[in-house]
């Protein structure tokens, strides 16, 4: 079985932004409202952060529950890990996700600034430099035969796309959200059609799922 | 986590039949052509019987690869297991699936006619009498906390629906296939809407996925 590099449950606005401007501790997605962007996923039975019982088990739930399926490691950009930029001021910041991060695998955070690894529950965060191919090689080894999830943000996904390392992408487009500026994944999903097949699947919840795989 | 009873990847014709008339050793689906009915699933990368590499990784593949996700046992009707009817003539028949059945869990075959259990690779077939609730209780115990798949055929699914034991259903409707007679799941999917939510999702491959979950 090949070890795929997969983008899963990545959300963008109708104009192609994964997050807005001015990301901060208070506004992890900048001027974008994550409550609106991720409403489709939060409504599903399999949403990793769900605390109440219930939730839908239709199309959106298939995509949500595939998040962890056969995933052995995640790669994320430093800006997904936290709001700090530049050298680490302190090591108190341990990500947005509290004591039980939803990854349950090794996570490789791409940064030029060294920092020791640490573990929260069954998730270990490693901080790694190097180009996308080098980071992917480390993550593949840690994944022990399973696939690697590319967690974002948009700039990190674009880096791996530019290096032609991405095998599949699931991007949920929110037609009702327009951001105008921020962290851009694409001008249009058509940009990927030279290298990828794409199923465009409108969900009854309102988002349009874009499912890409290599030609 | 509740242990769900899930129908997965069940195919019906546009007029609601899961198989045609006159099922036999040569024609497991009677006058229906399984090559046409299951073409959408066979084209996917995750199709359990795939031998060649490749295959699509779009919407249909999400549904195909969910087939085994968190499943700990399967229940099937005797007519899915084989073409014989009435008392077992011999025990040579071990199902349609060869030495490596695609289930990889205990399978409970519902029949009034006793027969010893047997194992092929990592699938063990048990032959059980009793009503749907009794069989489900056995399968749940064997599934060790995981969900139970209800494998069909149509008459078996209807039995469990009548007993209100089914939690979710994924039924792929082939709009281009009309059978006229055979083993019927429904006159119309609307029959289930009093008890189930339903996402109706047309796939680019041509089938229409119906995804039901309890209200």
* Mean pLDDT (10-residue bins), chain A, 215 residues: 93 94 86 87 91 93 94 96 89 92 96 95 97 98 98 97 98 94 96 98 96 97
Which residue of B59, B167, B199 is in closest CB contact with A204? B199
User: CA A180, CA A10: separation in Å to the nearest integer?
Assistant: 18
Q: What pLDDT was estimated at residue B89?
A: 87
Q: Are strands A208-214 and A168-174 parallel, antiparallel or unpaired?
A: antiparallel
Which one of 3.30.70.20, 3.30.1360.200, 3.40.50.300, 3.40.430.10 gives the CATH number of domain B5-83+97-214?
3.40.430.10
User: Could A62 and B57 be called an inter-chain contact, meaning their C-beta atoms sit closer than 8 Å?
Assistant: no
**Tens digit of pLDDT for each residue in B49-102?**
888 889 999 999 999 999 999 999 999 999 999 988 889 988 899 999 999 999
Quote the CA–CA distance of A19 and B130 in Å, as a whole number: 56
Contacts for B62-66 with beta carbons within 8 Å, 24 or more apart? B62/A62, B62/A63, B62/A66, B62/A211, B63/A62, B63/B8, B63/B9, B63/B170, B63/B172, B63/B209, B64/B9, B65/A66, B65/A69, B66/A62, B66/A65, B66/A66, B66/A69, B66/B8, B66/B170
Question: Chain B: nearest CA to A171, how far in angstroms?
Answer: 12
SS3 of A63-99: HHHHHHCCEEEEEEEHHHHCCCCCCCCCCCCCCCCCC
- pLDDT of amino acid B33: 87
Using an 8 Å CB-CB cutoff, list chain A residues near B168: 57
**Which chain A residues are Cβ-neighbours of B211 within 8 angstroms?**
57-59, 62
- Number of Cβ atoms within 10 Å of the Cβ of B213: 22
Q: Which residues contact A194 (CB under 8 A, 6 or more apart)?
A: none
At A90 the pLDDT is 83
Tokens encoding A102: 């939803």
Query: Can you tell me the ipTM of this complex?
Result: 0.89
Q: How is residue A179 written in tokens?
A: 């951001």
How much is the pTM?
A: 0.93
Query: Which residues in chain A have Cβ-Cβ distances shorter than 8 Å to B189?
Result: none
Domain spans, chain B = 5-83+97-214
Answer yes or no: do B201 and A168 touch at CB < 8 A.
Answer: no
Contact B56 A168 (CB under 8 A): no
Q: Which residues of A touch B1 (CB under 8 A)?
A: none
CA distance A1 to chain B (A): 9
pLDDT in tens, chain B (215 residues): 789 999 999 999 999 999 988 888 888 888 888 888 889 999 999 998 888 889 999 999 999 999 999 999 999 999 999 988 889 988 899 999 999 999 999 999 999 999 999 999 999 999 999 999 999 999 999 999 999 999 999 999 999 999 999 999 999 999 999 999 999 999 999 999 999 999 999 999 999 999 999 99
pLDDT the model gives residue B65 = 93
Contact B57 A201 (CB under 8 A): no
Contact B43, B56 (CB under 8 A): yes
A-chain residues near B203 (CB < 8 A): 199, 201
The CATH class given to the A5-48+55-82+100-214 domain equals alpha beta
Q: Are B127 and B113 in contact (CB under 8 A)?
A: yes
Chain B residue set in contact with A, beta carbons under 8 Å: 45, 56-59, 61-63, 65-66, 69, 167-168, 197-201, 203-204, 209, 211, 213
Which region, left, alpha or beta, applies to residue B150 given φ > 0 means left and ψ of -120 to 50 means alpha? beta
Query: Which residues, 6+ apart, have CB-to-CB distance to A155 below 8 Å?
Result: A77, A79, A183
Assigned token pair, A184: 């851009």
């Amino acid at each position: 079985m090949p070890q795929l590099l997969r983008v899963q449950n990545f959300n963008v606005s109708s104009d192609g932004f994964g997050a807005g401007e001015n990301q901060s501790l208070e506004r992890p997605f900048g001027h974008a409202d994550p409550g609106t962007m991720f409403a489709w996923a939060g409504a599903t039975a399999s949403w990793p952060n769900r605390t109440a019982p219930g939730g839908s088990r239709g199309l959106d739930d298939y995509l949500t529950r595939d998040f962890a399926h056969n995933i052995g490691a995640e790669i994320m950009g430093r800006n997904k890990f936290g709001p700090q930029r530049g050298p680490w001021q302190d090591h108190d910041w341990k990500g947005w996700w509290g004591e039980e991060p939803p990854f349950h695998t090794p996570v490789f955070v791409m940064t030029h600034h060294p920092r020791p690894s640490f573990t929260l529950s069954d998730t270990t965060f490693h901080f790694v430099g190097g180009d996308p191919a080098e980071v992917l090689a480390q993550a593949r080894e840690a994944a022990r035969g399973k696939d690697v999830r590319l967690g974002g943000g948009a700039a990190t996904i674009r880096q791996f796309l530019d290096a032609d390392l991405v095998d599949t992408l699931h991007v949920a487009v929110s037609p009702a959200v327009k951001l105008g500026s921020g962290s851009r994944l694409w001008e249009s999903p058509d940009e990927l059609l030279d290298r990828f097949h794409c199923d465009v699947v409108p969900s009854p919840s309102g988002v349009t799922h874009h499912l890409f795989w290599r030609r």
